[in-house]
Amino acid sequence: MKKSKTVIIGWVLSGLIAVMLVLVSASGKFTDWEGKEEMFAKMGWSTELMFKIGIVEVVVGVLFLIPRVSFYGAILVTAYLGGATATHVRLEEVFYMPIIMGILVWVSLGLRDPRVFAFAVGKTE
């Protein structure tokens, strides 16, 4: 089965998003590093809670990559990123990165499965 360039681009983008969620962002919640407790405390979160949030981040990132449940995974990633956006807004920090990531989640899923774009514009079969 030959895959179109669009589908391949969607999978590559999806993979990059999952790497950002699982390896970059969540790994910081699982490892010890200098200033970790202070940074999380500034956000209003304990390190124990951030560990649990990291688990959620890994789960939703993996769900997003599984074709059968990727739509639900995208919804959950978007919800997770909404929480990240709210945290950054509350702290008066730059908050556009989670929003951009959320947009990229849906674009990448739409490239993987064109039914997502059709559904978004109200064209259902």
**What is the domain partition of the chain in residue ranges?**
5-120
Question: What is the structure's pLDDT at 123?
Answer: 83
* pLDDT beneath 50, residues of the chain: none
3-state secondary structure the chain: CCCCHHHHHHHHHHHHHHHHHHHHHHHHHHCCCCCHHHHHHHHCCCHHHHHHHHHHHHHHHHHHHCHHHHHHHHHHHHHHHHHHHHHHHHCCCCCHHHHHHHHHHHHHHHHHCCHHHHHHCCCCC
45-66 pLDDT tens trace: 898 999 999 999 999 999 999 9
Question: What is the structure's pLDDT at 105?
Answer: 98
